[in-house]
Amino acid sequence: MTNKEPVAIVGIGQTHHVAARRDVSIAGLVREAAQRALTDAELTWADIDAVVIGKAPDFFEGVMMPELYLADALGAVGKPMLRVHTAGSVGGSTALVAANLVAGRVHGTVLTLAFEKQSESNAMWGLSLPIPFQQPLLAGAGGFFAPHVRAYMRRTGAPDTVGSLVAYKDRRNALKNPYAHLHEHDVTLEKVQASPMLWDPIRYSETCPSSDGACAMILTDRAGAARSPKPPAWMLGGAMRSEPTLFAGKDFVSPQAGKDCAADVYRQAGIADPRREIDAVEMYVPFSWYEPMWLENLGFADEGGGWKLTESGVTELDGDLPVNMSGGVLSTNPIGASGMIRFAEAALQVRGQAGEHQVDGARKVLGHAYGGGSQFFSMWLVGAEPPTR
């Protein structure tokens, strides 16, 4: 029997993600998401006990101390405010740090927020610093991940068409999500397949965009949930795991840290068979092939079974296990916020608030984020009912 306080998600807010928000400062951007989360929860700044913020690595946008710069925009004066930092998974781990403050009864109601203005960042070159004595070989994240995609294809015999199917699905899902960045109304599978190879086997249309955006959530305890005017989402399990970028025996296709993280979440939530018991998944897929790869890593399919789920339509919005209902990272990628957008989408689904991309009867939904060289993982499982364990 656990002695943790149950954690409820009672407010969710995000910006309309776009390529460039030149009309607002970073303070104005985060404020917009935070205010929407407060409005959703019907709370005011005075109701917030603490603020937990996350963002992308500092070189990406040159903001070294967001907790200092953004304290007034986020109403943090006189309250604890802290920053979380785990590369691309940061949005997820930021939410989990906030959730742990509630679960540990440190605070009753916590605002958690993550953001990035990629239009004012240097993400690609921030990843490719000219380190002395090293041989520069690569341009950006795509070149780092493409060889692992090829390794997945070799290991599982996946046909080379699967990546395009994922991109085509996610871009269509994004058409139903007014907050998504890419709204490609004329998208076709043929167009995805005909887009140029950037880092073969990854095509242009199978990569994520660069977005400006922020996402915020209000997490609260049982008492806060009881006051919530709208149905809350409940955290049924949450976990983070890390491993080195490179080590002998590292499995980039299906990292052990990802498997362990999922297993911990399922143990907390009493999930024995994720494929049967979980209704939908919002996972971090910056390159389309990561959908089948993570389906296996997260235990929804055995090794080699992930691409078959994708290919057979199981992960479509009307499939048996919808994946990336929001349109995913492939349609929206303010890097620092991308993990939290996944977590927020999971919560929106179990609250029945996902609008046109709502999965009917979604009761348990997994939110997933990863970052660095496939080395930081954060996940939560949220449900429509409070935890019973």
Partner 1 sequence: MAVAPQPDILKAPLVVEFPFTRSLGPVQAAFLSGLRHRTVLGVRTTDDRVLVPPVEYDPVTAAEIRDLVEVGDTGTVTTWAWNPAPRRGQPLDTPFAWVLVKLDGADTALLHALDATGPDAVHSGLRVRVRWAAERTGAITDIACFEPDDSTPEQIRPAPHTGEFEDGVTGIVAAARLDYTYSPGGAQSRYINALADNRTVGERCPSCRKVYVPPRGACPTCGVATTEQVEVGPAGTVTTYCIVNVKAKNLDIELPYVYAHIALDGADLALHGRIGGIPYDQVRMGLRVEPVWTEGGRYPDHYRPTGEPDADYDTYKELI
178 near partner 1, judged by CB under 8 A = no
159 preceded by cis ω (within 30°)?
Answer: no
User: Measured from the CB atom, is 128 or 353 closer to partner 1?
Assistant: 128
| 246 φ/ψ angles, rounded to the nearest 5 degrees | -135, 130
For residue 127, the tally of other CB atoms under 10 A from its CB is 17
CB of 20 vs partner 1, minimal distance in Å = 8
Single residue of 131, 186, 360, 388 touching partner 1 by CB under 8 A: 131
Single residue of 19, 65, 106, 138 touching partner 1 by CB under 8 A: 138
DSSP reduced 3-state for 106: coil
Half-sphere exposure (Cβ direction) of 30: Cα atoms closer than 13 Å: 26
Q: At what angle do helices 290-297 and 256-269 cross, to 10 degrees?
A: 60
User: Measured from the CB atom, is 197 or 226 closer to partner 1?
Assistant: 197
314 near partner 1, judged by CB under 8 A = no
How many degrees, rounded to 5, is the angle at CA 304 between CA 299 and CA 307? Answer: 85
Q: Which of residues 96-115 bind partner 1 (CB under 8 A)?
A: none
CB of 75 vs partner 1, minimal distance in Å = 3
DSSP reduced 3-state for 246: coil
Closest listed residue to residue 268, CA positions, set 260, 279, 276: 260
Range in contact with partner 1 (rule: CB under 8 A) among 22-30, 224-232, 270-278, 316-324: 22-30
Name residues whose C-beta falls within 8 Å of residue 140's C-beta, 6 or more positions apart in sequence: 124, 127, 128
For residue 386, the tally of other CB atoms under 10 A from its CB is 14
CB of 362 vs partner 1, minimal distance in Å = 34
Which stretches of 301-341 are assigned E, i.e. beta strand? none
Q: Which of residues 147-166 bind partner 1 (CB under 8 A)?
A: 147-151, 154-155
Count of residues engaged in binding partner 1, rule: CB under 8 A: 64
User: Measured from the CB atom, is 1 or 131 closer to partner 1?
Assistant: 131
Q: Which of residues 244-303 bind partner 1 (CB under 8 A)?
A: 244, 246-253
Question: What residues line the site for partner 1 (CB under 8 A)?
Answer: 21-28, 31, 45, 59, 61-62, 71-75, 77, 117, 119-122, 125-126, 128-133, 135-140, 142-143, 146-151, 154-155, 196-202, 244, 246-253
